[in-house]
Structure 1
Amino acid sequence: MRLKNLLACLFLCTIAISCIKDEAPNSEADIETCTLPGNVLNRDAIIENEKITLIVKKETDITALAPQFTLTPGATITPASGSTLNFTTPQTYIVTSEDKKWQKSYRIEVTTSGLTTNRYHFENVRFFSDDTSDKKYQIFYETDQYGRENMTWASGNPGFALTGVTGDYTAYPTYQSDGGYNNKCLALTTRRTGSLGNLMNMPLASGNLFIGTFDVLNALTNALTATQFGAQFENIPTHLKGYYKYKAGETFYVVDKTIPEKLKPVPGKKDIFDIYAVLYESTESLPMLDGTNILDEATETVLAVARIDNAKETNEWTEFNLPFIFREGKTVDPVKLAAGKYNLTIVFASSIRGNYFEGAPGSTLLIDEVELGCEGE
């Protein structure tokens, strides 16, 4: 009996070893983590789909930095992890998958500050491309007076792409439109997410645009935490103003998991949009806020909020001007401000209940010529 057991174990081990040997090489080519030697980073690296931002302390010599990477298993990177480069201008890294069939390009930027612009025109977009499409969806970015990119907006478009959406970039919830208050504008439309969205109990996607990052790997398992709000901010905000148009979709729905389409109409209920901005402290235990806590009154790290309270449907460009209201007992610590310990986010959404997958398909919010006011300006 012992011999039979031994032979059985050897047989199973042989199968396991054979399976390991026959396992296909990994086809992923991603940077999972990025760090810098020494105590020079002011906060964790901001890793996006094709871009990494390293915010370093002001005294850091950025002419000689050696980023170190964790890659998806088996992948390689050029230049090699730990190579010393001059980051006075962005550097490009190429990640090659273990099976050598896929490559991904990352642009790595180093800065001593986070959010450096306070006027947003929505005139600049680039397309995200992959192996299935060379123009999948749009990514908004802002530029400085010299035309150089100095800020990239985040949206839920990468998550919506997982639903198998068909059509061009205008089929996504977040896109650029003509006929803005001045030239082009931001357009946000609440969309149905199709069969995959229904399967995941996420039947609707609100159009959104925000300062922060979107964790696409977490989008289908925990959509609220996939939206990581905020960028380092070193001023005291006073107001957020700009222009909007809004048209609600015909039928408002809530999630009903007991029916196949997962959407239950609510007769007489109208959809409405949301605009808000939040200043908060980035702490070691809670460096970023997300959809679960950004507007929660119990979130102790929040200092001030500016939020629209008179949103309405309108066919005309309508101005909004939202003051930042500090929460009771909250003030800005000048030492923490100078050290880059505060974050700020600005958020636009076509359905105010979109984070709960509620709203009206077709609800469309247009935004243009937004300005963030700060003390001392």
Structure 2
Amino acid sequence: MRFFLLISMLSGLLVTGCIKKHLDNPEADILAFKLNPSETTGNTIIDESSKKIFIYLNSAAYENGVTPIIEISKGASVSPASGTHITFDQPVYYTVTSESGNNQKTYEVVVIRIGNWTFNFEDWEINSDSQYEYPVESDGTQIWSSGNPGAALAGVNQSPGSYPTGSTASGLNGTKGAKMTTLAGTATSEILGIHLIPGSIFLGDFNTMNAILDPPTATEFGQPYEGTPARFTGYYKYTPGASFQDENGNAVPSETDKCSIYAVFYNGPDRLNGSTISTSPQIIAKAIVPNGSQTNGFIHFDIPFTFTGVSAGSNTQMAIVASSSYEGVQYRGAIGSELIIDSLRIIPE
């Protein structure tokens, strides 16, 4: 009996000695940033690609400040702490430290309050991690996104000129504009069956968490809009690539690529995405630039909104979307197709 007891004790010691010490969680992410819905005009966006938290506040909440409830990675800590009242008389940053203490991330809180619906694409910044360009407003606020974060995940060379969307000095009247180019797929995207990467730009955010598993839902379209839109105007220049190809990378000689430019006014706060932007029952009105074929220089468009009969609620949103390949969301188009847009405007009633 003592022999078996001794064996049991030794076995227990051996098993205990073999159990590895608990490894602290290395993650340092903000998973949720919760505000009182009565204070907001749109859902909060946590953009991991830029380490920014975009919040959409009504005037009272902006003036008085808010008290966010923050969810973070297991075992991590955040400063300022969850439940701390913050105001916006100076920049607001949150720093998350992982449970292991080895990793830190700092997020900037950006309050989106759009007042001017004219976009000239004169000011651009570069993402510090992946080195792609994105347009900002004159005060530095980012309200536009693109497919560039997805292209970065697909292994596009990390330099500003290598991405499908960026600035150009060949905008309207020699000013800057936004240029989109349909690129060939990368070695990584080919594994996923993606043979081309269209250039795109849109009001909203690119959700990198969805980019691999469900790419169409990664594009989250829209920014809060007050009032009723009447017309969508602007300028564009388009040159299609030489050879249209289908989603399998096969040439389709009978087809020529086209660009896509449109605006959608809809009920929020939930944003539309690449799967819902055309068919959602949230849509109140659309303004779609027709044709999209090759142009001879810049073309001016002035498109009235067509209303669906859906009534506007209290959290209306406006999406503006442009792409160098009109079927790019299905990965159909022509490599080399190039679209330049400039001086876009939503004119209210």
Q: Structure 2 length as normaliser, TM-score?
A: 0.88
Tell me the residue number matched to 1:198: 190
Distance of aligned partners of 1:32 and 1:273 in 2 relative to their CA distance in 1, 3 Å threshold: same
Q: Name the SS for the 2:298 alignment partner.
A: strand
Instruction: Please state how far the C-alpha of 1:194 moved relative to its aligned partner.
Output: 1.1
Deviations 1:153-187 (A, max 9, x none): 01111111012222521111111111211411101
Distance of aligned partners of 1:61 and 1:140 in 2 relative to their CA distance in 1, 3 Å threshold: closer
Instruction: Please state how far the C-alpha of 1:65 moved relative to its aligned partner.
Output: 2.6
Instruction: Please state how far the C-alpha of 1:79 moved relative to its aligned partner.
Output: 1.9
Deviations 1:24-81 (A, max 9, x none): x444332111013685344431222322122234433644432221122333222222
Tell me the residue number matched to 2:274: 291
Tell me the residue number matched to 1:149: 140
Q: Does 1:330 align with 2:310?
A: yes
Q: Name the SS for the 2:172 alignment partner.
A: coil
Tell me the residue number matched to 2:57: 56
Q: Does 1:230 align with 2:222?
A: yes
Distance 1:38 1:351 in 2: 37
Tell me the residue number matched to 1:269: 255
In structure 2, give the amino acid aligned to 1:270: T
The alignment of Structure 1 onto Structure 2 pairs a total of residues equal to 337
Q: Name the SS for the 2:258 alignment partner.
A: coil
Percent identical residues: 32
Q: Name the SS for the 1:82 alignment partner.
A: coil
In structure 2, give the amino acid aligned to 1:72: S
Tell me the residue number matched to 1:46: 45
Q: Does 1:169 align with 2:160?
A: yes
Instruction: Please state how far the C-alpha of 1:16 moved relative to its aligned partner.
Output: 12
CA contact 1:62–1:110 (8 Å) conserved in 2: no
**Correspondence list, 1:82-97, <5 A:** 82-97=83-98
Give the CA RMSD over aligned residues.
Answer: 2.5
Tell me the residue number matched to 1:280: 266
CA contact 1:87–1:109 (8 Å) conserved in 2: no
Q: Does 1:106 align with 2:86?
A: no
Q: Name the SS for the 1:54 alignment partner.
A: strand
Which of residues 132, 138, 149 in structure 2 aligns to 1:137? 132
Q: Name the SS for the 1:47 alignment partner.
A: strand
Q: Structure 1 length as normaliser, TM-score?
A: 0.82
Distance 1:291 1:324 in 2: 20
Q: Name the SS for the 1:60 alignment partner.
A: helix
Distance 1:326 1:15 in 2: 70
Which of residues 366, 369, 372 in structure 1 aligns to 2:340? 366
In structure 2, give the amino acid aligned to 1:330: V
Q: Name the SS for the 1:196 alignment partner.
A: helix
Which of residues 270, 294, 307 in structure 1 aligns to 2:288? 307
In structure 2, give the amino acid aligned to 1:193: G
In structure 2, give the amino acid aligned to 1:290: N
Tell me the residue number matched to 1:184: 176
In structure 1, give the amino acid aligned to 2:289: I
Deviations 1:227-258 (A, max 9, x none): 111111112111111111111111111122xx
Ranges of 4+ aligned residues in structure 1 off by more than 4 Å: 13-17
Instruction: Please state how far the C-alpha of 1:278 moved relative to its aligned partner.
Output: 0.3
Instruction: Please state how far the C-alpha of 1:371 moved relative to its aligned partner.
Output: 1.3
CA contact 2:231–2:348 (8 Å) conserved in 1: yes
Distance of aligned partners of 1:167 and 1:85 in 2 relative to their CA distance in 1, 3 Å threshold: closer
* Unpaired segments ≥5 residues, structure 1: 257-262
Q: Name the SS for the 1:372 alignment partner.
A: strand
Instruction: Please state how far the C-alpha of 1:198 moved relative to its aligned partner.
Output: 1.3
Q: Does 1:239 align with 2:220?
A: no
Q: Name the SS for the 1:240 alignment partner.
A: strand
Distance 1:150 1:64 in 2: 19
Q: Name the SS for the 2:189 alignment partner.
A: helix
Which of residues 246, 251, 262 in structure 2 aligns to 1:254? 246
Distance 2:81 2:346 in 1: 40
Instruction: Please state how far the C-alpha of 1:15 moved relative to its aligned partner.
Output: 8.6
CA contact 2:44–2:54 (8 Å) conserved in 1: yes
Q: Name the SS for the 2:43 alignment partner.
A: coil
